[in-house]
């Protein structure tokens, strides 16, 4: 599959991505564990069908030492025993925050469970992360950015 056009080569996209990358600094500067960040990014990307981001975040997780078992079970995290309670809470919040079109929103139970594991600053970073990965997913899916060629660290 080929991309519809070189979105990343346009001036408008360059400006927009600069702002998204600035927003991402909130997450990278937070105390959220890197593995949790990438697990959330990977799960939202799976739900949204973003091949570019699934490729990126699965490879980033593997590069950081994530096990193949955990990588392979992200899509079935509810039935898997390899995720911590905190990771499961983050994945649930990410799923509900990604599936807003299903009409159920984010449940009080999912929010309260996440709040058991993350303080207010981490919750702010987690909500920001969920919003951000959904924005990246939509840009890549709309423009049909293909997955498969990403190399860990290629974006710095």
On the question of pLDDT at 1 being above 80, the answer is no
All residues at 6 or more sequence positions from 45 whose CB lies less than 8 Å from its CB, including other chains: 53, 54, 56, 57, 133, 137
pLDDT classification of 28: cutoffs 50, 70, 90: very high
Dihedral sign of CA atoms 8, 9, 13, 15 in order: positive
User: CB of 99 within 8 A of CB of 47?
Assistant: yes
Per-residue pLDDT, averaged over 17-36, amounts to 94
Output the CA–CA distances (angstroms, integers) from residue 144 to 5, 70, 100, in the order listed. 8, 27, 22
Following CA atoms 113, 119, 120, 121 in sequence, which dihedral angle do they give, to the nearest 10 degrees? -130
Provide the mean pLDDT of the chain. Answer: 94
Per-residue pLDDT, averaged over 6-13, amounts to 84
On the question of pLDDT at 8 being above 90, the answer is no
On the question of pLDDT at 60 being above 90, the answer is yes
Supply the Cα-derived Rg of the chain in whole angstroms.
15
On the question of pLDDT at 32 being above 80, the answer is yes
All residues at 6 or more sequence positions from 156 whose CB lies less than 8 Å from its CB, including other chains: none
pLDDT of residue 6: 79
pLDDT of residue 33: 96
Residue for token pair 């600053």: 121
**pTM for this entry:** 0.94
Q: At what angle do helices 108-117 and 85-98 cross, to 10 degrees?
A: 140
Per-residue pLDDT, averaged over 47-60, amounts to 97
User: CB of 51 within 8 A of CB of 147?
Assistant: yes
Tell me the pLDDT tens digit for each residue of 89-145. Answer: 999 999 999 999 998 899 999 999 999 999 999 999 999 999 999 999 999 999 999
Superfamily designation of domain 7-142:
AhpD-like (1.20.1290.10)
pLDDT of residue 66: 96
pLDDT of residue 100: 94
């Amino acid at each position: 599959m080929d991309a519809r056009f070189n979105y990343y080569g346009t001036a408008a996209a360059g400006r927009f991505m600069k702002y998204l990358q600035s927003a991402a600094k909130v997450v990278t500067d937070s105390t959220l564990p890197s593995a949790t960040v990438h697990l959330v990014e990977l799960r939202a990307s799976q739900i949204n069908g973003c091949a570019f981001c699934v490729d990126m975040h699965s490879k980033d997780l593997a590069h950081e030492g994530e096990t193949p078992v955990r990588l392979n079970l992200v899509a079935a995290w509810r039935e898997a025993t390899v995720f911590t309670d905190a990771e499961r809470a983050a994945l649930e919040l990410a799923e509900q925050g990604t599936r807003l079109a299903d009409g159920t929103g984010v449940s009080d139970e999912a929010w309260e469970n996440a709040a058991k594991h993350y303080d207010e600053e981490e919750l702010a970073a987690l909500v920001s992360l969920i919003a951000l990965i959904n924005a990246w997913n939509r840009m890549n899916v709309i423009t049909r950015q293909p997955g498969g060629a990403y190399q860990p660290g290629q974006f710095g």
